[in-house]
Amino acid sequence: MFERIKEDIAAVRERDPAARSSFEIFFLYPGVKAIRMYRRSHWFFKHNFKFLARWISQRAVRKTGIEIHPGATIGRRLVIDHGTGVVIGETAEIGDDCLIYQGVTLGGTGKDVGKRHPTIGNNVMISSGAKVLGPFKVGDNSRIAAGAVVLDEVPPNCTVVGVPARVVRREGQKIEQSLDQVHMPDPVALELCKLEYQVSELKKQLEALTGNNKA
C-alpha cells in the first residue's frame, strides 16, 4: 500500500509543474485522495461488502468532486489533475501511467449490459471535458483532446479530437505524452481549408475557360 502511495505522489510531481512537495500532494491534492479512497472501496467491493464500498466512494465524491465506482479497475500511477467532475463507471478499466483532467467521463451509452464502460490502455491522456462512452478500448499511448466525445475504439498511438471524435494523428511508434491540451489539429478546420483550396482551383479553371471562350 505504501509503495502505491509513493508511486502516486511521484507521478503527480512528474506531471504537475505546480506541485511543490510530497506533503502537499498527499494531504491537499483531491485526485490523490480520491484514488486512495477508491482503493479502499474497491477492496470492500471485491470482498462483497457492496454497501460499505459505495459509502466510501460517495464520501470521496463529497470530499473531492471525483466519482469513481468501487467496481472500476484502475492501474498504477494514475494522475487525476484537479479532478472536479470526473466520473468513472463500474466496469471501466484504466491501465498504468494514465493522465485524466477535470470533467472527464468514462461512462456508458445506456444500451449495453455487462461490460458497459471503456477500457483505457497504458500511458493515455484524456483532456478536460472529454467523454468516453461505451465498452470499447482506447489503445496505449493515445491522446484524447479537450471536449472530445469518443464513441468508438481508438487504436494505439493516436490523437483523437471532435464530436464525435475522429483520429487525426497515428504513428507506428510510442507518442511521448505531452501536457499540451490546446495545440492539437482540428479536423474540421483542415477539411474547410481543403474545400477552400478546391473551390479556388475550380474558380481559376472556370475563369480560364470563360476567358478562352471570349477570345
Domains of the chain: which residue ranges? 2-184, 185-215
Q: Which fold has domain 2-184?
A: UDP N-Acetylglucosamine Acyltransferase; domain 1 (2.160.10)
Q: Give 159: exposed, middle or buried? Use CB within 10 Å, 0-12, 13-18, 19+.
A: buried
Do residues 155 and 143 touch, judged by C-beta distance below 8 A? Answer: no
- Kindly report the number of other CB atoms within 10 A of residue 197's CB atom: 10
CA–CA distance, 163 with 116 (Å, rounded to integer): 20
91-139 pLDDT tens trace:
999 999 999 999 999 999 888 788 999 999 999 999 999 999 999 999 9
Q: Is the pTM of this model over 0.85?
A: no
Do residues 171 and 157 touch, judged by C-beta distance below 8 A? Answer: yes
Q: According to the model, what pLDDT value does residue 182 have?
A: 58
Q: Give 24: exposed, middle or buried? Use CB within 10 Å, 0-12, 13-18, 19+.
A: middle
58-104 pLDDT tens trace:
999 999 999 999 999 999 999 999 899 999 999 999 999 999 999 99
- What DSSP designation does 65 have? S
**Mean local confidence (pLDDT), 205-214:** 77
Give, for 170, the enclosing helix (H) or strand (E).
strand 166-170
Exposure string for 99-114, b = 16+ CB within 10 A, e = fewer: bbbbbbbbbbeeeeee
131-184 pLDDT tens trace:
999 999 999 999 999 999 999 999 999 999 988 888 888 874 444 555 566 566
